[in-house]
């Protein structure tokens, strides 16, 4: 299933949306996938570490000396696996203050430095702390291994081999969404007034290795299916990717692997995928091992009260629907 809402108005209390059904989003229209980009970065890391004899449990200090060993962090205790699984102890950076270059773009080093200004939230391996900083560090690792900018490396290692013709990892300062583009809108309230602001043009290096990818509903489904069916990774790497850190209530069946979410479906069974939010867009893709799939997005992205529960309900309802 592909589903998209264009010019949608969410009713957050009922979990419903008013949608302009005369202008549906097509499966090959481009939008920013946000943190679904993390799965692309994770696949690139897994492929590159395997090809270069690098262990997932290697300390990051071994490959990026001095990068993480600041402000109470110990790069000799934080491993590549911890970064991939958000168990490094690095907390969320809710108010990024990275130093921009004169052209308005950001380097990975600047993003990492900004994220590490926060003290550790937990010991490595002890807790799940979702942080873009983990994936900016992994972007630096990719660049160290390949000698290429991370956007080029991920394109060569992941996007091109999988034939994802409608997926782009834009370079810094490449701020446009390709045509046919879905315009993204950010909603914000000022007093008693509510405003929608166009968020389509956006500096991709703001989130870079953690959230810069642009794709389509069809390509995102193909990408996650290629992971789950074993096309994207070796059997050994897929096994590692699907080792999860448990999320939510004990025994819930939900977890976070290496750049990918495991979701227990209400009808039984498991789905794999990720969600993503950047200014203007919110999206999520889930696939199952037996071929069911759902990719959804909305370009009516609220700054607060992001409709995560409604998105989840739409996805799981589609995946659990009995074929007629």
Percent pLDDT > 70 in the chain is: 90
- The residue-averaged pLDDT of 39-44 equals 98
- At 81, which helix (H) or strand (E)? helix 80-85
pLDDT digits (tens, 9 = 90+) for 180-215: 999 898 877 677 777 777 888 999 999 999 999 999
Helix (H, G, I), strand (E, B) or coil at 313: helix
- At 314, which helix (H) or strand (E)? helix 308-320
pLDDT at res. 11 = 44
Minimum mean pLDDT among 12-21, 80-89, 160-169, 186-195: which range?
A: 12-21
Total residues belonging to the chain:
324
Which pairs with CB-CB distance under 8 Å and at least 24 residues apart come from 16-21? 16/310, 17/298, 17/300, 17/307, 17/310
User: Is pLDDT above 90 for 248?
Assistant: no
Buried b (16+ CB within 10 A) or exposed e, 296-317: bbbbbbbeeebbeebbbebbbe
Residues 30, 32: Cα–Cα separation, whole Å: 7
CB 255 within 8 A of CB 70: no
pLDDT at res. 324 = 45
CB 270 within 8 A of CB 287: no
pLDDT at res. 4 = 57
Residues 145, 242: Cα–Cα separation, whole Å: 24
The burial of 17, by beta-carbon neighbours within 10 Å (0-12 exposed, 13-18 middle, 19 or more buried), is given as middle
pLDDT at res. 266 = 93
- The residue-averaged pLDDT of 125-132 equals 97
Can you point out the beta strands (E) in the chain?
A: 2-5, 9-11, 16-18, 31-32, 185-190, 193-198, 214-215, 245-246, 255-256, 261-264, 270-278, 281-287, 293-298, 300-302
Q: Give me the residues paired with residue 10 across strands.
A: 17
pLDDT at res. 1 = 61
User: Is pLDDT above 90 for 322?
Assistant: no
Task: Please count the other Cβ atoms lying within 10 Å of the Cβ belonging to residue 250.
Answer: 5
Nearest to 184 by CA among 45, 56, 7, 64: 7
pLDDT digits (tens, 9 = 90+) for 90-103: 999 988 899 999 99
Q: Which residue has the tokens 């799940």?
A: 128
Nearest to 160 by CA among 40, 259, 296: 40
- The residue-averaged pLDDT of 272-277 equals 96
Minimum mean pLDDT among 109-113, 150-154, 271-275, 300-304: which range?
A: 300-304
- The residue-averaged pLDDT of 122-142 equals 98
User: Is pLDDT above 90 for 321?
Assistant: no
- The residue-averaged pLDDT of 220-234 equals 98
- The residue-averaged pLDDT of 218-229 equals 97
What band does 303 get if pLDDT is binned at 50, 70 and 90?
A: low
CB 96 within 8 A of CB 205: no
SS3 content of the chain, % helix, strand, coil (to 5): 30, 20, 50
Residue spans of alpha helices (H) in 86-172:
108-115, 132-146, 150-154
What band does 169 get if pLDDT is binned at 50, 70 and 90?
A: very high
- The residue-averaged pLDDT of 282-297 equals 94
Minimum mean pLDDT among 99-108, 177-186, 297-306: which range?
A: 297-306
What band does 268 get if pLDDT is binned at 50, 70 and 90?
A: very high
Query: Going edge to edge, which strands form the sheet with 300-302?
Result: 193-198, 185-190, 300-302
CB 196 within 8 A of CB 187: yes
Nearest to 238 by CA among 255, 257, 254, 261: 257
pLDDT at res. 78 = 98
Average pLDDT along the chain: 90
User: Is pLDDT above 80 for 250?
Assistant: yes
pLDDT: which is higher, 198 or 13: 198
What band does 29 get if pLDDT is binned at 50, 70 and 90?
A: very high
């Amino acid at each position: 299933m592909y589903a998209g809402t264009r010019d949608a108005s969410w009713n957050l209390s009922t979990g419903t949306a008013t949608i302009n059904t005369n202008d549906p989003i097509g499966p090959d229209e481009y939008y920013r996938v946000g943190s679904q980009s993390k799965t692309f970065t994770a696949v690139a890391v897994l492929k590159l570490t395997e090809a270069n004899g690098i262990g997932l449990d290697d300390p990051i200090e071994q490959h990026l000396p001095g990068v993480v060993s600041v402000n109470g962090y110990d790069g000799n205790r934080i491993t590549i696996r911890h970064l991939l699984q958000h168990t490094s102890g690095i907390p969320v950076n809710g108010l990024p203050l990275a130093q921009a270059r004169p052209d308005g773009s950001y380097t990975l080093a600047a993003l990492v430095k900004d994220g590490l200004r926060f003290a550790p939230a937990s010991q490595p391996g002890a807790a799940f702390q979702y942080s873009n900083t983990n994936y900016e560090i992994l972007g630096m690792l990719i660049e160290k291994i390949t000698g290429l900018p991370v956007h080029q490396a991920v394109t060569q290692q992941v996007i091109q081999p999988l034939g994802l013709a409608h997926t782009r990892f834009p370079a810094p300062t490449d701020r446009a969404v390709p045509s046919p583009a879905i315009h993204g809108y950010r909603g914000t309230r000022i007093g008693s007034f509510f405003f929608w602001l166009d968020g389509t043009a956006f500096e991709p290096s703001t989130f870079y290795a953690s959230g810069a990818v642009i794709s389509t509903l069809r390509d995102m489904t193909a990408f996650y299916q290629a992971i789950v069916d074993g096309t994207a990774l070796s059997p050994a790497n897929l096994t590692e990717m699907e080792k999860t850190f448990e999320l939510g209530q004990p025994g819930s069946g939900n977890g976070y692997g290496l750049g990918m979410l495991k979701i227990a479906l209400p009808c039984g069974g498991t789905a794999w995928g990720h969600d993503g939010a950047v200014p203007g867009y919110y999206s999520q893709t889930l696939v199952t091992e037996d071929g069911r799939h759902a990719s959804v997005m909305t370009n009516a992205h609220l700054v607060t009260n992001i409709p995560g529960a409604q998105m989840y309900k739409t996805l799981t309802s589609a995946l659990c629907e009995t074929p007629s």
